[in-house]
Amino acid sequence: MSGDERGAGGFELLVREQGSVTSVDDVLRRSDGCSVETVVDVLAHRRRRYVLYHLREHGTAVAESLADHIAERERDGSTVTPDPARRQHLRTELLHTHLPKLDDAGAITFERTGEFVEYDASETLELFVELAARAEA
């Protein structure tokens, strides 16, 4: 949408980057290989979002600690600690579904042998991860 198409009642989403302000449209035009389909697919599942939020803050993790993090987030104020079987199920789901999907999308680097995960999101994906994190805070 161009500036003329926004017109009255429209709005422009701006992003603060390295001391300057850039429109989201300009960020999306960058060729960092991240399509809208990728952004939507990556952020569609809450457990993938939880992984990305954790990695944005910590940079790296192992699958076991990510499973623990997700279990704690999903507890949602409950005083009941998730049982070991549930944590194992989360770990397995991460290893076989969510981490490979995030790796294929270029959001993380996933070393399968050591179950080591590192945050590696493109600039475009990072923008949407940040927006999602703020919306869910």
pLDDT digits over 5-58, tens only?
444 455 566 666 666 777 767 766 666 667 888 889 999 999 999 999 999 999
pLDDT over 50 (residue 3): no
> Which of these, 135, 113, 111, lies nearest to 53 by C-alpha position?
135
**Joined tokens for residue 12:** 């422009």
In 3D space, the residue among 26, 47, 31, 29 whose CA is nearest the CA of residue 101 turns out to be 47
**Res 55: pLDDT:** 97
pLDDT score of 54: 96
Is the pLDDT at 117 greater than 80? The verdict is yes
Contacts of 16 (CB under 8 A, 6+ apart): 22
* 21 burial type by CB count under 10 A (0-12 exposed, 13-18 middle, 19+ buried): exposed
Q: Residue 78: its pLDDT value, please?
A: 67
For the chain, list the domains and their CATH numbers: 1-30 (no CATH), 33-136 (1.10.10.10)
For the full predicted model, state whether its pTM sits above 0.85: no
Confidence class of residue 79 from pLDDT cuts 50, 70 and 90? low
Compute, in degrees rounded to 10, the torsion defined by CA atoms 33, 30, 108, 137: -130
pLDDT band at 127, cuts 50/70/90? confident
Mean pLDDT value across the chain: 83
Positions of E strands within the chain: 14-17, 20-23, 60-62, 108-111, 116-119
Residues 110 and 102: their CA atoms lie apart, in Å, by: 8
Phi, psi of 61 (to 5 degrees): -170, 170
